[in-house]
Amino acid sequence: MEDRTDGRNANQLRPLGCSRTILNRAHGSARWSQGNTLVLAAVYGPKAGTKKGENPEKASFEVIWKPKTGQIGKQEREYEMILKRTLQSICLVNVHPNTTTSVIVQVVGDDGSLLPCAINASCAALVDAGIPMKHLAVSISCGLMEEGSIILDLTKSEEEKLKAFAYLVFPNSPLSVIDKVHSSKEEPIEHGIITSVSYGAMPVSGYFDCLERGRAASAAISEFLRRSLQKQSSDDASRASQ
């Protein structure tokens, strides 16, 4: 199965698209597309008060996942839970205690890698809303083929055919001001993996291969994210004055 159906090679991602500030009422909004998978995310917050059961000493997050058509089912609830935990770990929750930030995700097109796309979109929307964060989150899907090779950024048909695949979320690579030579001697600041959701059975070595490949790909995606966020930051200045 060397050729992927859309002609990409194993390490190629689909064309990425990101645009910020697309909605007027929402405090922050972003649209993220990976090929034909398109997700719209909006952020409202921080609003006063926390829900019952949440820790009032920290900021809490509420995620609402809206599918394209049909009723909300268990799959949507699972996505909401994963997204909430991911966002809680990247945001600074002690800055605004006893507040609730709502993130609403709307699926516009689904062609595989839906959860990674949604995580990327939510992260961009949080940036657009100005919620304080430790670092950004970049998400990628990796599939494990029978012969042990890894393919990135799965489409829907690939997800259905593969025996095992995983959605991985990494922190974005930091932009270092100091010299490259200098920094290579020390350990990178953030090396951990934030979230991993795996489907199907895969051998341990296969999983670690996925992690390695995913981390390498996340560098490319975080580069793209940084560029697209910086490009629109000039519009931010004019909005802040309003």
Partner 1 sequence: MEQRWANTSRLTINEKQFIEEALRSEIRVDGRRLYDYRRLTIKFGRYRCLPRATILSCKCYHLRFSLFCCNCREDGSSEVQLGETHVMAFVTGQLLQPYRDRPNEGTLAIFTEFSPMADPSFEPGRPGEAAIELGRVIDRGLRESRAVDMESLCVVAGKSVWAIRVDLHIIDNGGNLIDAANIAALAALSTFRRPECSVGGDDNQEIIVHDPEVRDPIPLTIHHFPIAVTFAFFHEGNTLVIDPHYKEEAVSGVRMTVTVNSNGDVCAIQKAGGEGILSGDVMRCLRIASLKASEMTTKIKEAVETYNAEVALKKVKRHPSLIAQKITVPDVEMKEASFQKTKELSADMENSPNQTSTSLTTTKDKDTNASIGRPLNWDPYSSSAPAIVSSSTLPELVGTSKDANEDQMMQTDEEYDPNLKKDQIASATGVSSGIHKQNSPPKSLKDAVKPKHKRKKNAERGAR
Positions that interact with partner 1 (CB under 8 A): 5-6, 22-27, 29, 36, 38, 40, 42, 44-48, 64, 66, 68-69, 96, 102, 104, 106, 108-112, 130, 155-157
Nearer to partner 1, 63 or 142 (CB): 63
At closest approach, how far in Å is the CB of 200 from partner 1?
Answer: 20
At closest approach, how far in Å is the CB of 107 from partner 1?
Answer: 10
Nearer to partner 1, 48 or 178 (CB): 48
**What is the bridge-based pairing of β-strands 28-34 and 60-66?**
unpaired
Nearer to partner 1, 156 or 226 (CB): 156
Nearer to partner 1, 47 or 85 (CB): 47
At closest approach, how far in Å is the CB of 153 from partner 1?
Answer: 14
At closest approach, how far in Å is the CB of 186 from partner 1?
Answer: 35
Nearer to partner 1, 6 or 190 (CB): 6
At closest approach, how far in Å is the CB of 169 from partner 1?
Answer: 22
Determine the Cα–Cα distance for residues 109 and 121; give it in Å rounded to an integer.
Answer: 13
Torsion 12-159-199-82 (CA) sign: positive
